[in-house]
Chains A and B, each alone.
Chain A
Amino acid sequence: MLGKTAGSLFWMARYLERSENNARLIDAGFRIALTRSQTAAAEWKSVLVTAGVNQAFQAAHGDYSSARVIDFLLRDPANPSSILSVIRQARDNARTARTALTRETWEAVNTSWMTLVALLKRQVREDDLPDVLTTIRQQSAQVRGALNGTMLRNDGYHFALLGTYLERADNTARILDVKYYLLLPSVAHIGTSIDNVQWETILRSVSAHRAYRWLYGAEISALKIAEFLILYRQMPRSLTFCSERMENHLNELQRHYGEETEARRMAYALVHDKLNAPIQSIFDGGLHQYVTGFLRDTANLARQVERDYRFVE
């Protein structure tokens, strides 16, 4: 497989995952903005920071009104991470890697792009927003279904899934990075409950508020939430789950090519050192430092994959 093709599959999957993640962030932010208008601006800011586009937003707009932020996140061409920008980049990468995709997968990506371009042609009205966000997530699910159902389990598949999990791990870590301070006081003062709406937002932004209840019942504790998002192996957006998947796909690639890579070694270290710690010790060492370290490690891992598999010259 061409290095460029491998890179395009990796990035196609990253962008698709990003579009879905951003839809979830908007959904969570929108809920808070509706129910707590006094904290709406702060909440939107943290959504923008999580998406990594706060500076771009500030430069273009400045004031955090819901309508502006939502439009910026959904369709602003000045925002390289807007849903519209991201789906276009996903499709461009899919076109570049067209020969490595099944017809079903390509058509799912292309349909996704066509649907979202039509959907986001005009500014979305607030009462239409929930439907629009649902459509974005459904489109993403269709692509995933086509990919899982029709792609040969060869190198191309593993590059795509590697991209998916890397992007997802990065997203969950960013949410923690922005919201970590909410989790801190309640750990220090055992027994004080954390802000209900805030923790729901965190869980909602990874589509896991229900799953948390199944697992922990009514017990809401910062330690448990952090453990759930960082270490819980069955939670498909936790750092551990994503990192184990990354390690697995890098193992498969190593088997496929019969060539030891530095990236695989790094993923191994991520799973078996970094994430192999009880949650209390992660808090003791500083949650923020821990998450920042994780973000740095995954960024390095992404660069190493690019080098090991010659995505670019």
Chain B
Amino acid sequence: MNSQEGETRPPYREYCGWFEAEDVARIQHKAVQAEALFRTTGITFNVYGAVDGDERLIPFDVVPRIISASEWRRLSRGIEQRVRALNAFLYDIYHRQEILRAGRVPTDLIAGNAAFLPMMMGLDPPGGIYTHISGTDIVRTGANEFYVLEDNARTPSGVSYMLENRETMLQMFPELFAKVPVREVSDYPINLLKSLAACAPPACGGTPTVAVLTPGIHNSAYYEHSFLADHMGAELVEGHDLRVVDGRVAMRTTQGYKAIDVLYRRVDDDFLDPLNFRPDSMLGVPGIWDVYRAGGITIANAPGTGIADDKALYSYMPDIIEFYTGEKALLPNVPTWRCSEPEHLREVLDRLPELVVKEVHGSGGYGMLVGPAASKKELAAFRAKLEANPGNYIAQPTLSLSTVPIFTKKGLAPRHVDLRPFVLMSPQGITITPGGLTRVAMTRGSLVVNSSQGGGTKDTWVLED
């Protein structure tokens, strides 16, 4: 919020003026109200592995994170470039593999990768789109320094928090929105519906029928699945609601089976089709793959997109962007050591206490090491894991992330944050909702923002020009 000279940065000026004139007790009261609102709405999160943690709230902070119009212009240009490159990369990888032939990305990284789906080779997804929905995780390290932390191209989650956080702020502090010109986010579900419908498969005749596929009410992101289906006016289906009928994937309605044109699936590739992928999966639809191949359904995101958000591949993103767009990456990557390479590994082991080490296929902040915060014992244990299976890890320097204020009992206090803007892609173009999800490390000094690790969220404001 403050510049290095300690002055309030311009986008925060109006807000701070308001805050200083406010009674802290009133804001405290609103914060409590906001929590009750989240509970009633049922915006809860399941924490895996926790016995009593069946349903928890993600902590919500009432102070918005504010981004100026010009900062946002810069970010959104960089994100758009990145998503276009990812989509072009996926098309290439599943067709002629020019980038491998050109030696810009090692063949091993693709061929030996569990997220690479050989069955997608030569297949053209409807509209040529692989990443219908993606989320780009961004951190800030200085006034004009942004880095991309990772690209989420499988099934990025959190968009319902982006929308509900805004809704809650509008209910709690309506007067603020009259003072500060904040760009709307509420049209995301409609844009999502339009974007998905624009990718209808050849077999679709008429208005496309869109459905959201969820693993069910026990999934940690179920709230989001039902939220999106509800706001799009689409059906929320589970595997056992679906079957293949006359060459189409159809859902069991009260009047019989009805064909689905576009399936926004929130289950992983492995679970999509027990006949063609994991035979023990109960979450998917037997035979959906054959329908997909024949152009009978659009699956969003396309199967096999996971190869694009692999953490080992991440380090090649600057090359990938340049290869497909002919431009330098507008948003830089965080420098990354690939532990699969002996020289990189040696350096990582030498500097372990100052690095962040992540699993290549991990997500949600599980199984990672934050060197500066780790004990000697934890460092030693991780060192052993690294030596045993170096190819499973990448390492990055600990960035000095910028902070934004959160509301605490003692007033405003700085915390580290990241930002996940949500990006929609269809043949009609790319739509980025202004802002996105700001995740915040609620403990002082902590760099881990993942909700599964106690991180919270806050509303994100992009200001009008």
Interface status of B441 (Cβ within 8 A of chain A): no
Q: Which residues of A contact B251 (CB under 8 A)?
A: 2
Known interface pairs A4-B238, A95-B217, A99-B226; A313-B255 also in contact (CB < 8 Å)? no
Expressed in whole angstroms, the Cα–Cα distance for A259 and B255 within the complex equals 9
Expressed in whole angstroms, the Cα–Cα distance for A210 and B388 within the complex equals 77
B254→A257 contact, CB < 8 A = yes
Interface status of B297 (Cβ within 8 A of chain A): no
Interface locus among B45-53, B228-236, B336-344: B228-236
Interface locus among A45-53, A106-114, A216-224: A106-114
A155→B254 contact, CB < 8 A = yes
5 contacts between A and B (CB under 8 A): A2-B251, A2-B254, A92-B217, A95-B217, A103-B41
- Tally A residues with Cβ within 8 Å of B: 23
Which residues, 95 to 153 on A, are CB-close (under 8 Å) to B? 95-96, 98-99, 103, 106-107, 110-111, 114
Shortest C-beta distance, B224 to chain A (Å), equals 11
Expressed in whole angstroms, the Cα–Cα distance for A292 and B234 within the complex equals 43
Given A5-B235, A106-B42, A309-B254, 20 more pairs with CB closer than 8 A: A1-B253, A2-B241, A2-B251, A2-B253, A3-B241, A3-B252, A4-B252, A95-B222, A95-B226, A96-B217, A99-B226, A99-B229, A107-B40, A107-B41, A114-B39, A114-B40, A155-B254, A310-B252, A310-B253, A313-B252
- Tally B residues with Cβ within 8 Å of A: 24
Which residues, 236 to 266 on B, are CB-close (under 8 Å) to A? 236-238, 240-241, 243, 251-256
Which residues, 58 to 72 on B, are CB-close (under 8 Å) to A? none
Expressed in whole angstroms, the Cα–Cα distance for A4 and B243 within the complex equals 14
Expressed in whole angstroms, the Cα–Cα distance for A114 and B41 within the complex equals 11
Shortest C-beta distance, B189 to chain A (Å), equals 12
Q: Which of B39, B230, B234 contacts A98 (CB under 8 A)?
A: B230
A95→B240 contact, CB < 8 A = no
Q: Identify the closest chain B residue to A6 (Cβ).
A: B254
Q: Identify the closest chain A residue to B234 (Cβ).
A: A99
Q: Which residues of B contact A2 (CB under 8 A)?
A: 235-237, 241, 251-254
Shortest C-beta distance, B392 to chain A (Å), equals 36
Q: Identify the closest chain B residue to A113 (Cβ).
A: B42
B254→A310 contact, CB < 8 A = yes
Shortest C-beta distance, B215 to chain A (Å), equals 12
Known interface pairs A2-B252, A2-B253, A313-B252; A95-B235 also in contact (CB < 8 Å)? no
Expressed in whole angstroms, the Cα–Cα distance for A111 and B256 within the complex equals 34
Known interface pairs A2-B241, A257-B254; A95-B42 also in contact (CB < 8 Å)? yes
B217→A110 contact, CB < 8 A = no
Shortest C-beta distance, B263 to chain A (Å), equals 14
A310→B256 contact, CB < 8 A = yes
Known interface pairs A96-B217, A98-B236; A1-B40 also in contact (CB < 8 Å)? no
Q: Which interface residue of A98, A111, A257, A313 has the most chain B CB atoms within 10 A?
A: A98
Q: Identify the closest chain A residue to B251 (Cβ).
A: A2
Expressed in whole angstroms, the Cα–Cα distance for A87 and B373 within the complex equals 44
Shortest C-beta distance, A162 to chain B (Å), equals 12
Q: Identify the closest chain A residue to B222 (Cβ).
A: A95
Q: Which interface residue of A1, A2, A103, A313 has the most chain B CB atoms within 10 A?
A: A2
Q: Identify the closest chain A residue to B228 (Cβ).
A: A99
Q: Identify the closest chain B residue to A95 (Cβ).
A: B217
Expressed in whole angstroms, the Cα–Cα distance for A99 and B41 within the complex equals 13
Expressed in whole angstroms, the Cα–Cα distance for A4 and B41 within the complex equals 22
Expressed in whole angstroms, the Cα–Cα distance for A114 and B39 within the complex equals 9
Q: Which residues of A contact B229 (CB under 8 A)?
A: 99
B217→A257 contact, CB < 8 A = no
Which residues, 412 to 451 on B, are CB-close (under 8 Å) to A? none
Shortest C-beta distance, B221 to chain A (Å), equals 13
Q: Which interface residue of B254, B255, B256 has the most chain A CB atoms within 10 A?
A: B254
Q: Give 1 or 0 for each of A283-313: 1 = CB within 8 Å of chain B CB.
A: 0000000000000000000000000011001
Q: Which residues of B contact A92 (CB under 8 A)?
A: 217
Expressed in whole angstroms, the Cα–Cα distance for A4 and B229 within the complex equals 15
Shortest C-beta distance, B333 to chain A (Å), equals 39
Q: Which residues of B contact A106 (CB under 8 A)?
A: 42
Please give me the 10 A-B residue pairs with the lowest Cβ-Cβ distance, nearest first. A98-B226, A309-B254, A99-B230, A3-B252, A95-B217, A99-B229, A110-B42, A99-B236, A6-B254, A107-B40
Expressed in whole angstroms, the Cα–Cα distance for A92 and B226 within the complex equals 13
Known interface pairs A95-B222, A99-B226, A313-B240; A3-B253 also in contact (CB < 8 Å)? yes
Shortest C-beta distance, A70 to chain B (Å), equals 26
Which residues, 1 to 43 on A, are CB-close (under 8 Å) to B? 1-6
Q: Which residues of B contact A107 (CB under 8 A)?
A: 40-42
Q: Which residues of A contact B240 (CB under 8 A)?
A: 4, 313
Q: Identify the closest chain B residue to A96 (Cβ).
A: B217
Q: Identify the closest chain A residue to B254 (Cβ).
A: A309
Which residues, 231 to 254 on A, are CB-close (under 8 Å) to B? none
